[in-house]
Amino acid sequence: MMRHSTTPHHSLAHETAPAARRGTGAFAEAIAKSRETTLFIVLLIIVGGTAIARPQFLNLQNLRDVLLNVSIVSLLTAGMTVVILMRHIDLSVGSTVGISAYAVGSLYVAFPHMPVVVALAAGLAIGVAAGAINALLVAVGRVPSLVATLSTLYIFRGADYAWVHGGQINATSLPDAFSRLATSTVAGVPVLALIALVLLVGLSVYLKQFRPGREYYAIGSNPEAARLAGINVERRVATGFLISGGIAGLAGALWLARFGTVDASTAKGIELQVVAAAVVGSVAITGGVGTILGAALGALVLGVISIALVVLHVSPFWEQAIQGALIVAAIAADTLLARSVAKRMMRKRDHG
């Protein structure tokens, strides 16, 4: 009787442990596939916690400022995402924003009645030219993107300083039609934010629904396999840098509309915030993984943290420390989840 009574318990113990491991693995895999949901929950916690401590945090002016600031950063992060998906990086985006903003402002000084569409197109063209230089260095010259874009960061910024020569463009030099990009609203939402939203949705659809967009993921997952599959890796890498540069140039024009006053130091250092937003937003620095939605949420989380620190009267120096901590946490989470999913797949294969 004793033998018969212990055998089921013994069998149950052996069946329960793998079941528990499978449950843990399934949960980890589910989290890995829903980083956007996790980010959204974190965002709600930050907003809720700050609102409890400082009820005035949820006033319309703060919400408007968050939307305007995050719109520009999220655009830059989306462009950066395209590049990071292929295991590259573009550190020159801040300098591209700066030189584009000053160039568009200078055009308005010379041609005060220039249409807004022409101003935005000029910013886009300047950004594409900057992206083309990066594309030549990385895709054609085979210079590592970290080195190439770090070099162009200083080259573009140095050219900007030489051109500006201590001057600046003021809001008084800009026509009202251009400034209204940041001041006008549609159903309470700033026009600038709507422009960013349209571009983000368009880029997201491009990456998900079109073959050239999916090739970015293939290259980041395995460049050699992508090449064997017939993908022109160099052309796709060059296109990625053109997209990143073009978005940065357009963001420079929008920056001018948002702040009105620009000089040679405009957007200096913003590239670090953009990389942080991309990594926090679930874009794997090792390539092949990430979404535009996640990148935008990463930018939104960092933007809300920045405003929250001001409302809570916390020293702004903590902002960079928090960004660094979030980058480490995001990379650590990606590593742990990737290992968990890999182990689960190996167990599936062994049992299969």
Report the C-alpha dihedral over residues 64, 51, 201, 274, rounded to 10 degrees. Answer: 90
pLDDT of residue 316: 76
**Which domains, and CATH codes, for the chain?**
36-351 (1.10.3470)
State residue 352's pLDDT score. 59
What pLDDT is attached to residue 15? 45
Single pTM value for the model: 0.86
How much is the pLDDT for 160?
Answer: 94
Report residue 192 as tokens. Answer: 């600038």
Structure tokens at 348: 């599936």
pLDDT value of position 322: 82
Sign (positive/negative) of CA torsion 185, 189, 190, 193?
A: negative
Name residue 190's beta-bridge partners: 185
CA distance 121 to 128: 10
Q: What does the pLDDT look like over 291-308, one tens digit per residue?
A: 999 999 999 999 998 888
Tell me how many degrees the CA angle 155-96-120 measures, rounded to the nearest 5. Answer: 145
Which residues of the chain, if any, have pLDDT below 50?
A: 1-25, 27-29, 32
Q: What is the pLDDT of residue 349?
A: 73
- The whole-number pLDDT of residue 33 equals 52
pLDDT confidence of residue 13: 45
* pLDDT tens readout for residues 26-61: 544 455 456 788 888 988 998 999 999 988 888 888
